[in-house]
Amino acid sequence: MRAFEANFDGLVGPTHNYAGLSFGNVASQSNAQAVSNPRAAALQGLDKMLSVQQLGMVQGVLAPQQRPDIHTLKQLGFSGSDGEILQKAFDTAPHLLMACYSASSMWTANAATVSPSADSADGKVHFTPANLVNKFHRAIEHGVTGRILKATFVDQQRFAHHHALPAHEMFGDEGAANHTRLCRDYGQQGVQLFVYGQHGSDPTAPKPSLYPARQTLEASQAVARLHQLNEDNTVFIQQNPDVIDQGVFHNDVIAVGNHNVLFYHEQAFLDTQSKLEEVRRKFGEGELHFIKVPTEAVSIDNAVRSYLFNTQILTLPSGEMVIIAPTECQENAQVAAYLETLVAQNNPIAKVLYFNVKQSMQNGGGPACLRLRVAMNEQELAGVNQATLINQASHASLSAWVSKHYRDQLTLDDLRDPSLLNESLTALDELTQLLKLGSVYPFQRG
């Protein structure tokens, strides 16, 4: 049976803003307080989704979170009418209000870790929502994320949905952003690479000194157990702590894998040589391409600024491999020159396609952050909620929905405006009907 990779992108929510919430994420910190454009952000994302679908790929969409998260504000002791809660939080704890307003669920590479049925002992596709404990604004995502995943990957015979890991820093989990899979064919057993930033239980092990390492080895191991993977199809690799300190807050900012290609910066990992030998041994027979980018070709600084590695490498139905890159790669002289030589060299990557996702990039989210990959076969695809799949018609109705409900500018001062809350909930209520999700949001559940 034909197997393929589907990409499920996060739909940017109506409250997309720049709050500077992510210590260790250079773009988030440097654009703090900038004026955002939620409408442009959502339309940029939808246009990328349609373009990928038109390349012949299966493309889906994951709904955003309910924001503001008024329930969390109440849990933190703010009381009164919704308008009073927003005003009190704005006056006394603006950082909490911003966190409860973040549209950060758009980066669905952090929604969950996904393992395809070909790798799991029970033959199901497994999902574990990421607990995202390192950042408060993201730690409040996983409950609703789990409901959205269940309403999207519906067939319980084929999809296994787990709870997020315990919410403790020992199990800090950032989902697919620190996970990639190499395979000969999407339907055959592959090798899953789990990249962690630190050991959660060994204080003497290497770790970054300035910025946080968000993913722990203990979390990656727990996800591999939940997903019924085995010794032969998993490799655990530590991320180089020095690059985390230079702004590489997830592995997908320094390496990306697809099919039988691993594209990585030479400084991405610790013990690179022995770990890549382990990958090759577990991969077994067949062509496997390691494309290493040396520091003299692309500096860490340029990799972080351009998001060269936060690209999507796609295997098109024709077998051709293309890179979906942000326009920032085109604008960075060193990276643009590198990409020209890459496609000219003898490797499977045939061309680069550039996309404008600047609204997301300014918060540290490139094309690969915006998508969750789910390798599946035709039967599994039939078990997906078909209303969440992108084609010309669904792209048109979602774009019209965005244009009807979204503002074209948002400042932090707007967050105390109760009409923003009402606009957001009205939009999301309509969205659950468009995507046939049922009542996934707290405000719909009473």
Residues 38, 241, 364, 367: which binds ligand SUG (CB under 6 A)?
364
| Pairwise CA distance, residues 328 & 310, whole Å | 11
- Report if residue 25 touches ligand SUG, rule: CB under 6 A: yes
- Strands (DSSP E) contained in 297-410 are 312-315, 321-326, 349-355, 371-377
- DSSP letters, 4-29, are EEEEEEEPPPTT-------TT-HHHH
Site residue total, ligand SUG (CB under 6 A): 22
- Does residue 196 belong to the site contacting ligand SUG (CB under 6 A)? no
Cα end-to-end span (Å), the chain: 43
Return the residue of 6, 9, 14, 28 that touches ligand SUG, per CB under 6 A.
28
Nearer to ligand SUG, 165 or 288 (CB): 165
Residues 373/152, Cβ–Cβ less than 8 Å: no
142 is catalytic: no
> Among residues 206, 230, 226, 229, which one has the least CA distance to residue 216?
206
Q: For residues 100 and 118, which CB has a smaller minimum distance to ligand SUG in the complex? A: 100
Determine if 334 is a binding residue for ligand SUG (CB under 6 A). no
Report yes or no: 94 and 412 within 8 Å, Cβ to Cβ.
yes
Whether the Cβ atoms of residue 268 and residue 255 lie closer than 8 Å to each other:
yes
Pick the binder of ligand SUG from 6, 177, 195, 402 (CB under 6 A). Answer: 177
Q: Single out the catalytic residue among 5, 16, 126, 174.
A: 174
Structure tokens at 66: 């309910």
Please count the other Cβ atoms lying within 10 Å of the Cβ belonging to residue 122. 9
Instruction: For residue 68, state whether it binds ligand SUG (rule: CB under 6 A).
Output: no
Q: Which residues contact 419 (CB under 8 A, 6 or more apart)?
A: none
Cβ proximity to ligand SUG, 256 vs 381, nearer residue: 256
* Cβ closest to ligand SUG, residue 53 vs residue 104: 104
Binding residues among 132-161 for ligand SUG as defined by CB under 6 A: 135, 138
Q: Choose, by CB under 6 A, the member of 15, 22, 267, 302 that binds ligand SUG.
A: 22
CB within 8 Å of 100: residues ≥ 6 apart: 67, 68, 69, 70, 72, 73, 89, 137, 140
Considering the complex, state which of residue 107 and residue 441 has its C-beta at the smaller distance from ligand SUG.
107
Least gap, CB of 397 to ligand SUG (angstroms): 27
Closest approach of ligand SUG to the CB of residue 252, in Å = 5
| 200 lies in the site for ligand SUG, by CB under 6 A | no
304 lines the binding site for ligand SUG (CB under 6 A): no
Query: Do residues 20 and 99 touch, judged by C-beta distance below 8 A?
Result: no
Query: Binder to ligand SUG among 18, 194, 196, 263 (CB under 6 A)?
Result: 18
Catalytic residue check, 84: no
In this chain, which of 21, 164, 226, 389 binds ligand SUG, going by CB under 6 A?
21
250 labelled catalytic:
yes
394 lies in the binding site for ligand SUG (CB under 6 A): no
Instruction: Examine residue 8 and tell whether it contacts ligand SUG (CB under 6 A).
Output: no
Encoded one letter per residue, x for contact with ligand SUG by CB under 6 A and - for no contact, window 219-258 reads -------------------------------x-xx-----
**What is the spatial distance between Cα 298 and Cα 335, in angstroms, rounded to a whole number?**
6
Interaction of residue 107 with ligand SUG, rule CB under 6 A: yes
Widest CA span in the chain: 64
Q: Are 234 and 191 in contact (CB under 8 A)?
A: yes
d(CA 64, CA 427): 11
Catalytic residue among 16, 250, 265, 395: 250
127 counts as binding ligand SUG under rule CB under 6 A = no
Alpha helices in 284-354 (DSSP H): 300-306, 327-331, 333-344
Query: Least Å distance between CB 222 and ligand SUG?
Result: 20
Binding site for ligand SUG (CB under 6 A): 18-22, 25, 28, 102, 104, 107, 109-110, 135, 138, 177, 250, 252-253, 363-365, 369
- Would you name the residues annotated as active-site residues? 174, 250, 369
